[in-house]
Amino acid sequence: MHRFDELTERIARVVYAYTDARLRLDPVPLDRTVDPATLAALAPDPIGPAGNDPEAVMATFERVLAPAVISCDSPRFLAFIPAAPTKASLLFDMVVSASSLSGVSWLEAAGAVHAENQALRFLADLVGLPRDAGGCFVPGGSAANLSALAVARDTARRSGAPTGRRLRVVVGEQAHASIANALRLLDLEPLVVAAPDDRLDGAAVAAALDADGDAASVCAVAATAGTTNAGIVDDLAGVAEVCARHRLWMHVDAAYGGAALLAPSARPRFAGIERADSVVIDPHKWLFAPFDCAALLYRDPALARATHTQDASYLDVIHDEPGVWNPSDLAHHLTRRARGLPLWFSLAVHGTDAYRDAIERVLATARAAAARVAAAPHLELVREPELSIVLFRRRGWAGPDYDAWARRLLDEQVAFVAPSRWHGEPVARLAFLHPGTTIEIVDEVLASTRAG
Ligand SMILES: *Cc1c(COP(=O)(O)O)cnc(C)c1O
């Protein structure tokens, strides 16, 4: 299994052929998922004491399993948060795999960590963090939020936060579900602040703290720069003011929206993000990197080390060198794939202007889609999109109508959409992220709302 023998030769041939063909798909077809009984019948379990022909196993993957996945990198995938990895990043992901690149510590992986740090530096500069800011790549925004909030909590405890009771974190009503999960796991309590126009702002946070009888137990504010449901960017400058005044950790969850820092037409919305103590940006979303890649940045990485460094005698050797960078010390992880490298490679090959242009193209598509909705008498825009998510109503429709519409679009392979809710009311939601999503696709999707 570990030699490049005749069997490996055959495996390599089918794998190279598949990956070559998959990478050349343009556009990637949408496909659809199937029910468990169908898959059980078409793809019986091949795992047993004896092996199978690689051609046969690969054929099952190619003909049955791969088409039973809705391709999130199709330009017709407009549900949840889509993906649109560059070909360069996908190809370099194969290099990372083929090289078993680990990115635990400088001792083991200086070259990989050095390159990952260049990609992190690019992101820290976009945010406007100081030179000695830094962080690491983790598998997703959820993991990044958890690691960052752990540091926020421990930093407050170390600097004299009241002991013997739960600390609290201010969150907006539109914060991502992973923030609530992280708080629960960390035994922190959310202080949910309702904000005018669903945008957490400094005045609302200040008023909530003033009205609260126990503001001393609040240790952080978790703001969102690009809510997942509606693409709303909180008033980060106002939040930063309040955090400075009350000496609170400012965390910014920009998992989806952070990429728009690159777009001149959206950059002003993020004013104040440069004052954050921790920031999360998911390159596997709108920075066109493959799964799974989230960037976690700290203003002061030493605070992260104090929380996350794992203390074990067999690890002492990685910590002995002063001044070296160990990604494993900066989040809740140890063994880690050097998952920042595909982003690093693609940025280096294409240049950041190409990223800026691709992100602007997506923003323009979202604005054009919103204009189409506003102009259609049977449709109603829920709010002007700030980034690339468009929420709208179809007059006369209730929840089941939106669901039937989504099913119809997928059946006809026009688009994958997932209806959402806005203040409890069912609405249609289009999430744009793929630069290849054309206004013609948008028109097809909107035309399909006339029926029903
Ligand atoms: C997607 C998202 C997350 C979660 O990120 P994962 O990479 O899916 O774990 C967190 N916050 C926001 C705002 C998001 O859009």
For 138-184, how does the pLDDT look when each residue is reduced to its tens digit (9 = 90+)? 999 999 999 999 999 999 999 988 888 899 999 999 999 999 999 99
What is the pLDDT at residue 314? 84
In the chain, the percentage of residues whose pLDDT exceeds 70 is 100
Question: pLDDT tens across 77-91, in order?
Answer: 999 999 999 999 999
CATH number of 94-350: 3.40.640.10
- Higher local confidence (pLDDT), 314 or 113: 113
| Structural class in CATH, domain 352-450 | alpha beta
- Nearest-atom number in ligand 1 for the CA of 81 is 1
Q: What is the pLDDT of residues 348-385, one digit of tens each?
A: 999 999 999 999 999 999 999 999 999 999 999 999 99
Between the CA of 70 and the centroid of ligand 1 the distance, in Å, is 19
User: Residue 154 corresponds to which tokens in the numbers above?
Assistant: 């421990």
Q: Which residues line ligand 1 (CB under 6 A)?
A: 81, 140-142, 176, 178, 224, 228, 253, 255-256, 282, 294
Alpha helices in 281-351 (DSSP H): 301-308, 316-319, 341-350
* Ligand 1, pocket-test mutation among 142, 234, 279, most atoms within 8 A of CB: 142
Q: How far is the CA of 74 from the centre of ligand 1 (A)?
A: 20
313 CA to middle of ligand 1, Å? Answer: 35
224 Cβ contact partners less than 8 Å away, ≥ 6 residues apart: 172, 174, 175, 176, 200, 232, 233, 234, 252, 253, 254, 257
Provide the pLDDT for residue 391: 98
Cα–ligand 1 centroid distance for 349 (angstroms):
27
The protein residue whose alpha carbon is closest to atom 4 in ligand 1 is 141
Distances (CA, A) of 5 to 9, 59, 69: 6, 21, 32
Which atom in ligand 1 lies closest to the alpha carbon of residue 228?
15
Helix, strand, coil share (%) of the chain residues, nearest 5:
50, 15, 40
Average pLDDT, the chain: 97
Q: Whose CA is nearest to atom 5 of ligand 1?
A: 141
Return the best residue to mutate from 181, 198, 282, 432 for the ligand 1 pocket (most ligand atoms within 8 A of CB).
282
H/E stretch holding 36: helix 36-42
The answer on pLDDT for 306 being more than 80 is yes
What b/e string do you get for 419-450 counting C-beta neighbours within 10 Å, with b at 16 or more? bbebeeebbbbbbbbbbbbeeebbeebbebbe
Q: What is the pLDDT of residues 28-72, one digit of tens each?
A: 999 999 999 999 999 999 999 999 999 999 999 999 999 999 999
Predicted confidence band of residue 321 (pLDDT cuts 50, 70, 90)? confident
Pocket residue to mutate for ligand 1, from 81, 171, 256, most atoms within 8 A of Cβ: 256
Asked if the model's pLDDT at residue 186 lies above 70, the reply is yes
Structure tokens at 302: 């030493």
pLDDT at 452: 63
Same fold, 94-350 and 352-450: no
171, 199, 228: residue to mutate for ligand 1 pocket, most atoms within 8 A of CB? 228
pLDDT of residue 322 exceeding 80: no
Residue identifier of the C-alpha nearest atom 7 of ligand 1: 140
**Distance from the alpha carbon of residue 421 to the mean position of ligand 1, in angstroms:** 18
For residue 320, pLDDT over 80 is answered with: no
DSSP lists the bridge partners of residue 218 as: 168
* Closest ligand 1 atom to Cα of 143: 9
Ligand 1 centroid – CA 134 distance (Å): 20
Enumerate the domain spans of the chain.
94-350, 352-450
Contact 346, 288 (CB under 8 A): yes
The answer to whether the bond into 27 is cis (omega within 30° of 0) is: yes
pLDDT of residue 137: 98
What distance in angstroms lies between residue 14's CA and the mean position of ligand 1's atoms?
A: 34
Distance (angstroms) between ligand 1 centre and the Cα of 228 equals: 7
Q: What is the pLDDT of residues 209-256, one digit of tens each?
A: 999 999 999 999 999 999 999 999 999 999 999 999 999 999 999 999
Closest ligand 1 atom to Cα of 178: 10
Identify the pLDDT of residue 323.
77
State in Å: Cα 263 to ligand 1 middle: 20
User: Model pTM greater than 0.85?
Assistant: yes
CA of 140 relative to ligand 1 center, distance in Å: 7
Which among 220, 245, 264, 278 has a CA at the least distance from the CA of 360?
264
> Looking at 315-324, 331-340, 415-424, which range is the least confident one?
315-324
Tell me, in angstroms, the distance from the centre of ligand 1 to residue 76's CA. 21
